[in-house]
Amino acid sequence: MNICSTLPRLFVLASCLVLTQCAAPTRKGKLAATPPAIPSATHAMVPETKAAPALTDTEMADELDDYAVIEISDPLERLNRGTFWVNDKMYLVLFRPLSKGYEKVLPQRLRKGIDNVFENARYPVRLVNCALQGKFRRAGLETEKFVLNTVGGLGGLMRVSEKIPSLQGIAEEDTGKTFATWGLGHGAYLVIPFLGPSSVRDGIGLIGDYALNPANWGAFWGGKHDWTIIPPSVNTLRALPSQLSAYDEAKRDSIDPYIALRSAYVQYRAEAVKK
């Protein structure tokens, strides 16, 4: 295999983690861990509008409340902002065209079925982390949901478990949440290339999630065979539309997208650990 054919495959494998584990709703319904947001300098392109009335001190405190209460160590802010900017350019140049092409080629119902299959396949991630957190009843529910969706839902294409009240709304578990349950703090805030907002704790957790996800196992075991990159690549591609939508929502009213996403990410993870 020559280097010209190898490099694109290595790039796909390196991108397999992109956005497949990180999306999560915040308290206000936005998604925190999104593709990197556009730097604040780009807001200069927004047309000027009529100035809003000045806020009182109390109103301003309310406006900034979400940011004031969310804290995380960010000793690498300069490096993180640089990664944030580079990620944004990759999002604009690569991710958006891929997402648009994916949505154009496949109808929405088929895309939904693909999402269901990959989410169903993440069962080992949820099961192992339920067990590590001592949530054995939830592990049983996850097993019941997996069996129903696999057998009755044609391999997970349909989420038949959603028709059963006891199996609805089960909180997602991941390795980062397990570390938090064990008492480990976030550590330093990190903006990971391609992946966006994270922390030392959750970044290490992503490695555990990646290893436990069957969609990625071919990348470890396949070696020389082209088919090994297909499941991880599809897993990345199918997540792009929702992630890009989350990105657009997160940046919409942000004065400084870097700060907004950092705060939203930490807020979301704090809420997730409580579930």
* In the chain, where the domains are located: 72-274
Residue 236, classified by CB atoms within 10 Å of its CB into exposed (0-12), middle (13-18) or buried (19+), is buried
Q: Which tokens sit at 132?
A: 């590590």
Confidence check: pLDDT of 22 > 70: no
pLDDT tens profile 196-253: 899 999 999 999 999 999 988 866 655 555 666 778 888 888 988 888 777 777 777 7
pLDDT at 243: 81
Residue 106, classified by CB atoms within 10 Å of its CB into exposed (0-12), middle (13-18) or buried (19+), is middle
Choice between 223 and 20, residue whose per-residue pLDDT is larger: 223
Residue 161: band (very low, low, confident or very high) from pLDDT cuts 50, 70, 90 = very high
Considering the chain, what is the average pLDDT of its residues? 77
Residues with Cβ within 8 Å of residue 134, at least 6 apart in sequence: none
Lowest mean pLDDT among 10-14, 83-87, 202-206: 10-14
What is the SS3 assignment for 253? coil
Which residues sit opposite 25 in a β-bridge? 31
Please give the model's pTM, rounded to 2 decimal places. Answer: 0.72
Confidence check: pLDDT of 57 > 60: no
pLDDT at 125: 97
Please report the DSSP string for 17-63 in residue order: TTTTS---B-TTS-BSS-SPPPPGGGGGGSPP-PPPPPPPHHHHHHH
Choice between 127 and 59, residue whose per-residue pLDDT is larger: 127
The radius of gyration of the chain from alpha carbons, rounded to an integer in Å, stands at: 20
- Give the up-direction half-sphere exposure of residue 45: CA atoms within 13 A in the CB hemisphere: 6
Confidence check: pLDDT of 194 > 90: no
